[in-house]
Structures are given as structure tokens and as C-alpha cells.
Amino acid sequence: HIQYTRNMITGASNVDLAIVLVDARAGIVEQTRRHSLLASLLGVPHLVICINKMDLVDWSPEVFNRIRHEFEDFASRLSLRDVTFLPISALLGDNVVSRSPNLTWFEGPTLLHHLENVYTASDDNRVDARFPVQYVIRPQRAEHHDYRGYAGRVAGGVFRVGDDVMVLPSGLTTTITGIDTPDGAVTEAGPGHAVTLLLADDLSVSRGDMICRPNNRPRQSQSLEAMLCWMDDAAPLQPNRIYSLKHTSKVARAKVTKVLYRLNISTLHREQGVESLTLNEIGRVELHTTAPLFFDDYHVNRTTGSFILVDENSGQTCAAGMLLSPRT
């Protein structure tokens, strides 16, 4: 339902796969389009369209194929990378865990088999090395008086001992001399790994800085464009009002300078001439921040390409944003 748009935005922002249930009797409805659009906006890598209640349409392959073709026509306007269609009967369990004698015409997998075997290893960005620094570790103990580590979670790429890296915003370069984890030292760390990097040089590094490769840096700017989902039920978006923007481990003050358009999430129509966004509305906006952000487009890296806006007075999360390349 449209009033739960913000729930899906928060719940699906980091998932590998989403399941959309379609009633075989009703076919593709507004809610199907809305959920699929949100999955596309959020960059969900894998989408499963479960055409349910096949028992109520006599297990008809014609109904299944008609719904599949209708969805494919709609999805051609979205950015969905991998879509799988499955006929099921949730009530009777057909094709959920085991293959069904009622669906002998369907040659695909069961839902459980698909979930257990979908390939997600290639979904992570293992090329663009990104490490937002969350915390600087300097133990106050004599045996570790020379220890200086930079803790965080790898947001992209692979970091290895011996790699040359650059620290932003300073632009200083150094070499990784060690990678520590709660289970001991390792020689490399990839996306999602929570680690502490040790560097060869005693640089000035603090929370909110970004460690990357010298020849592969994130974009850097104070002027941004993003798709924004408004989540505050207390007040609409107020252009030029100051909000707190949280991006990876960095916090800056920001304001939305312009709403470029509001997206009708039922028709995909871009509604021009809009000056604000209200609860559950999504639009493309221009923002300006008080300090540069180090980021990638959301479709390239969902961690370094996302942010939230927070009301500085109430602490309420007002919006979730997905950073995009400026329109030309």
C-alpha cells in the first residue's frame, strides 16, 4: 500500500533479493507496479515475481504467461537486472518447496530452490575500493602505545596488505601494513567486512574520511542530485531548510535547493513544477552540503551512493536519498 512506501524503502535498501506476490486472478495491479518500481530505485539485484493462487485459475499456463508478458512490458521501463517468474500456490504449497504435479508444464525451479541457489557473489562492487573511516583506534596501554588503526566496514572493492591507498579529503597516500579483525589479522578484506586498517604512515585521519585507491577515487562534490523518498509524517520537505545529512560515516549540514520533479510511482510519470515532497513521495532533487561528500552513483555502490536527511531539531529521519549523476 502507498502508505507503506517508506517501510519498503528502509527494509529493502540493502537486500539481495525481493519477492513480489501477484494474484493470478487479478494480474498486474498498481501495488505490483509500485513495489517493482521501488525495487528498481533501490537497486535490488534480484527480483522474483511469484504468481500466486494458481489453483484458482486451474493451473493455467496461459494465465501465467499473460501475466509474465504484461510485467515484462512494464519492467522494460525500469532498471531491473534479474527477474524470475514462478507459478505457485501458497495455500496448497505447490512449487514452494517441492515441484507440483499440477504444474508439469513449468520447467523452472521451486521457490525454495531458487532462493537457495540464486547467485549473489557478483552483486558486490569488488572493483572500486571504498573504506569510510568510522573510528580511530589508539589504545591507551603501554604495550600498544604505537598502535594506530582505522576501523570501519569495507563499502566496496578489496583491500590487501601492501596496497597503496589514498586518504580523502587530504589526498595523502600511504600503504596498508596490516588488516585486523576480531578474529585476528587477515591479508585482505572485501565488501561488508568490518576491519581495522593499519597504515605505514602516521597521517591525520578521522571519522568521516574515506580510504580509496589513488587511481580510483569516488566523486567529490558539495552540489548533488538524488532521488529522495520523503519519510517524515510531521512536515513536508522544506526547500532551503537546513537538515543534517548522514552519508556513510560522515555527517554534514545540507539543504535541498530544488525539486526537479516528483515521480508518480504508479504511472512512472515525472510531475514537473513541484516545490515540495510529502510523506511517501519520491522525487529528484538538487542538494548543497556544507562539506564535500565522497560518493559513487547509487547504481554503482549502494553504500557510498546513499544517505539520509535528519531533522536537526527533533532527530527524526526525514528522508532517504540515492545519489545520481547530474542530468546533462
pLDDT value at residue 266: 76
More confident residue, 130 or 328: 130
What is the average per-residue pLDDT within 82-96?
97
Pairing of strands 194-199, 164-168: unpaired
pLDDT value at residue 2: 61
pLDDT value at residue 158: 96
Q: How far apart are CA 94 and CA 51, in angstroms?
A: 11
**pLDDT above 90: residue 194:** yes
CATH number of 249's domain: 2.40.30.10
Confidence of residue 81 (pLDDT cuts 50, 70, 90): confident
Q: How far apart are CA 86 and CA 63, in angstroms?
A: 12
The structure's pTM equals 0.87
Pairing of strands 188-189, 243-247: unpaired
Q: How far apart are CA 241 and CA 308, in angstroms?
A: 15
Same-domain status, 44 and 96 = yes
C-beta of residue 157 within 8 angstroms of C-beta of residue 191: yes
Same-domain status, 186 and 271 = no
Domain boundary among 189, 212, 235: 212
Exposure string over 188-202, b if 16+ CB within 10 A, otherwise e: ebbbebebbbbbeee
Same-domain status, 135 and 82 = no
Same-domain status, 117 and 189 = no
Q: What is the mean pLDDT of the chain?
A: 93
Same-domain status, 183 and 294 = no
Quote the number of domains for the chain: 3
User: Which sign does the torsion angle of CA 72, 74, 80, 86 carry?
Assistant: negative
Task: Report which of 303, 250, 308 is spatially closest to residue 130, judged by C-alpha positions.
Answer: 303
DSSP 111: H
Same-domain status, 60 and 107 = yes
Residue 27's SS3 state is coil
More confident residue, 14 or 270: 270
Kindly report, residue by residue over 211-258, the tens digit of the pLDDT.
999 999 999 999 999 999 999 988 999 999 999 999 999 999 999 999
pLDDT value at residue 229: 93
Confidence of residue 107 (pLDDT cuts 50, 70, 90): very high
Domain boundary among 212, 229, 262: 212
pLDDT value at residue 327: 74
Same-domain status, 116 and 184 = no
Same-domain status, 239 and 189 = no
pLDDT value at residue 125: 82
C-beta of residue 308 within 8 angstroms of C-beta of residue 1: no
Kindly report, residue by residue over 112-163, the tens digit of the pLDDT.
999 999 988 777 888 999 999 999 998 877 767 788 999 999 999 999 999 9
| Residue at grid coordinates 510523506 | 279
CATH number of 77's domain: 3.40.50.300
Same-domain status, 190 and 103 = no
Confidence of residue 3 (pLDDT cuts 50, 70, 90): low
Same-domain status, 114 and 85 = yes
Same-domain status, 229 and 301 = yes
Same-domain status, 9 and 113 = yes
Q: Domain range spanning residue 309?
A: 219-324
pLDDT value at residue 140: 73
Domain boundary among 212, 229, 244: 212
> What amino acid occupies position 96?
V
